[in-house]
């Protein structure tokens, strides 16, 4: 029996599905987390062979001892995974120190975590990237801005999502940024007027995708996080051909194997220095599933079960689980206190027949997702657009 250590199997809450399918496929599922055992969902408890509670998942020594305990108790660890961007580097270090060969090791981290290091790999893939510099000083940045002009985007070189991402539009903004920036490395990029399209895939040990889909984000995630806009994105009914092509080339260039991935691309809204309107260019790679409830939405959009496809890939390096009827699966996250024209009950009543989820967003995820979520399936983009217009209309 193969031993699989799942780090933080209780967060996000829906990750118990990964564990359940691993167990059903005959794996020994061993959980490590900082949640008390009695607070775990019953579905998760029944999916785990054993659970090791640490006081703090950020404490590497504690987590190391947990892995060592499981190794002593159950033998060689075959897999170790969190499917979580936040723990990606720590997962790689544990795999390196315990000689777990089924995933990224420490030597692989630079190109998959540092946005600046991703640029060279994208070049290998033949995918364009935005011009950039490392924001080491005002002088370096001003030299870069002399080439690109304002606005520019600055964000941590090693960051998660849109956290601590800023649009600078003037020298005063630049001065304020350097006055307030945190003591981490930042990357500065030319501003790209574009819509974010993703390539999402589950990839086997040969680097071949066994499931593919994608999403489109409306508006700017940076603005959603920084200004409290409503959050809107949808899973496409079928991946766009150009995004599929760019995603597959990126898979090969990064040497991705045996993973669930979420690659983000820009689709240009107008002709720019980087390319023509409609062209697909790189944003960043994320070597984990798209966050929050996106896996659930992939299931709704494709009439499938991505948790099982992933667990089948782990256990059998393939999956017989196919897809069924295809839909656009649309998400809208509404903000508390925002003067919406239509109440939550009106939204649910109008779209009850196609509604899949209607509930509050966990506070830890509300920055990017809003406070109340509605997820619904539609057969056409016209229906998606009407749904967004109804759900986000605000009083003047």
- What is the greatest pairwise CA distance in the chain? 64
pLDDT at 260: 98
Query: In sequence order, which residues have a C-beta less than 8 Å from that of residue 101 and are 6 or more positions away?
Result: 95
Q: Helix-strand-coil percent breakdown of the chain, rounded to 5?
A: 40, 25, 35
Three-point CA angle 387, 388, 392, nearest 5°? 120
Give, in order, the Cα–Cα distances in Å from 100 to each of 95, 334, 395.
5, 42, 55
Q: Are 201 and 212 in contact (CB under 8 A)?
A: yes
Q: What residues have CB less than 8 Å from 287, skipping those under 6 apart?
A: 85, 88, 104, 112, 254, 256, 259, 261
Give CA–CA dist 234/220, Å, rounded.
14
Residues 6+ apart with CB under 8 A from 164: 155, 156, 182
Q: Are 152 and 187 in contact (CB under 8 A)?
A: no
Distance CA 164, CA 301 (A): 31
Q: How far is CA 307 from CA 96, 171, 247, 310, in A?
A: 26, 48, 21, 5
Cα–Cα distances in Å, from 117 out to 105, 123, 124, 129, 139? 16, 11, 12, 11, 22
Q: In whole angstroms, give the CA distance from residue 1 to residue 28.
A: 7
| Selection from 330, 302, 326 nearest residue 386 by Cα | 330
Render 297-337 in DSSP notation, one character per residue.
HHHHHHTS-HHHHHHHHHHHSS------S--EEEEEEEPTT
Nearest CA to 52 out of 81, 84, 64, 43 is that of 64
> Tens-digit pLDDT profile for the chain (396 aa)?
899 999 999 998 999 999 999 999 999 999 999 999 999 999 999 999 999 999 999 999 999 999 999 999 999 999 999 999 999 999 999 999 999 999 999 999 999 999 999 999 999 999 999 999 999 999 999 999 999 999 999 999 998 766 788 999 999 999 999 999 888 999 999 999 999 999 999 999 999 999 999 999 998 777 777 778 899 999 999 999 999 999 999 999 999 999 999 999 999 999 999 999 999 999 999 999 998 899 999 999 999 999 999 999 999 999 999 999 999 999 999 999 999 999 999 999 999 999 999 999 988 888 888 999 999 999 999 999 999 999 999 998
Strands 152-156, 79-81: pairing kind: unpaired
DSSP structure class, residue 391: H
Burial of 247 (0-12, 13-18, 19+ CB in 10 A): buried
Give one DSSP letter per residue of 273-304, joined into a string. Answer: TTB-TT-EEEEEEESS--STTHHHHHHHHHTS
**Model pLDDT for residues 258-278, shown as the tens digit of each residue:** 999 999 999 999 999 999 999
Which two structure tokens, joined as six digits, stand for 64? 């190391």
168-174-176-177 Cα dihedral, nearest 10 degrees: 70
Q: Is 179 exposed, middle or buried (0-12, 13-18, 19+ CB in 10 A)?
A: exposed
Query: How much is the pLDDT for 161?
Result: 65
Q: Which residues pair with 305 in a beta bridge?
A: none
Q: Supply the pLDDT for residue 379.
A: 98
**Residue 340: DSSP 8-state:** B
Give the predicted TM-score (pTM) of the model.
0.95
pLDDT tens, position by position, 141-168: 999 999 999 999 999 999 876 678 899 9
133 neighbors 144 (Cβ within 8 angstroms)? yes
DSSP string, 96-144: HHTT--SS--GGGHHHHH-HHHHHHHHHHHT-----EEE---HHHHHHH
């Amino acid at each position: 029996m193969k031993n699989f250590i799942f780090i933080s199997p209780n967060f996000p809450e829906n990750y118990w599905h990964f564990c359940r399918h691993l167990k059903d496929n005959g794996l020994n599922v061993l959980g490590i987390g900082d949640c008390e055992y009695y607070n775990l969902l019953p579905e998760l408890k029944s999916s785990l062979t054993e659970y090791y509670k640490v006081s703090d998942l950020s404490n590497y020594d504690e987590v190391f001892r947990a892995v060592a305990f499981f190794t002593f108790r159950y033998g060689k660890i075959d897999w170790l995974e969190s499917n979580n961007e936040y723990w990606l580097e720590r997962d790689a270090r544990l795999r390196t120190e315990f000689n777990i060969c089924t995933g990224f090791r420490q030597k692989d981290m630079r190109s998959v975590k540092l946005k600046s290091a991703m640029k060279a790999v994208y070049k290998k893939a033949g995918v364009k990237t935005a011009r950039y510099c490392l924001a080491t000083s005002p002088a370096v940045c001003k030299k870069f801005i002399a080439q690109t002009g304002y606005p520019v985007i600055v964000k941590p070189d090693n960051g998660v999502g849109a956290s601590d991402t800023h649009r600078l539009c003037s020298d005063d903004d630049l001065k304020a940024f350097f006055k307030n920036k945190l003591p981490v490395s930042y990357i500065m990029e030319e501003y790209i007027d574009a819509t974010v399209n993703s390539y999402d895939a589950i990839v086997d040990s040969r680097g071949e995708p066994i499931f593919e889909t994608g999403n489109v984000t409306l508006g700017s995630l940076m603005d959603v996080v920084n200004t409290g806009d409503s959050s809107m994105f949808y899973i496409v009914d079928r991946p766009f051909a150009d995004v599929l092509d760019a995603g597959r080339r990126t898979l090969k260039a990064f040497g991705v194997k045996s993973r669930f991935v979420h690659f983000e691309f820009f689709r240009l809204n107008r002709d720019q220095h980087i390319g023509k309107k409609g062209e697909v260019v790189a944003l960043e790679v994320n070597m984990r599933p798209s966050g929050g409830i996106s896996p659930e939405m992939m299931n709704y959009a494709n009439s499938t079960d991505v948790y099982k496809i992933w667990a089948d890939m782990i256990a059998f390096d393939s999956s017989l689980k196919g897809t069924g009827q295809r839909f656009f699966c649309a998400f809208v996250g509404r903000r508390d206190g925002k003067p919406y024209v239509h109440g939550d009950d009106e939204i649910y009543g109008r779209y009850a027949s196609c509604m899949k989820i209607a509930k509050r967003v966990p506070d830890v995820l509300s920055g990017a997702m809003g406070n109340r979520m509605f997820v619904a399936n539609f057969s056409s983009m016209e229906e998606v657009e009407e749904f967004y217009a109804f759900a986000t209309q605000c009083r003047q």
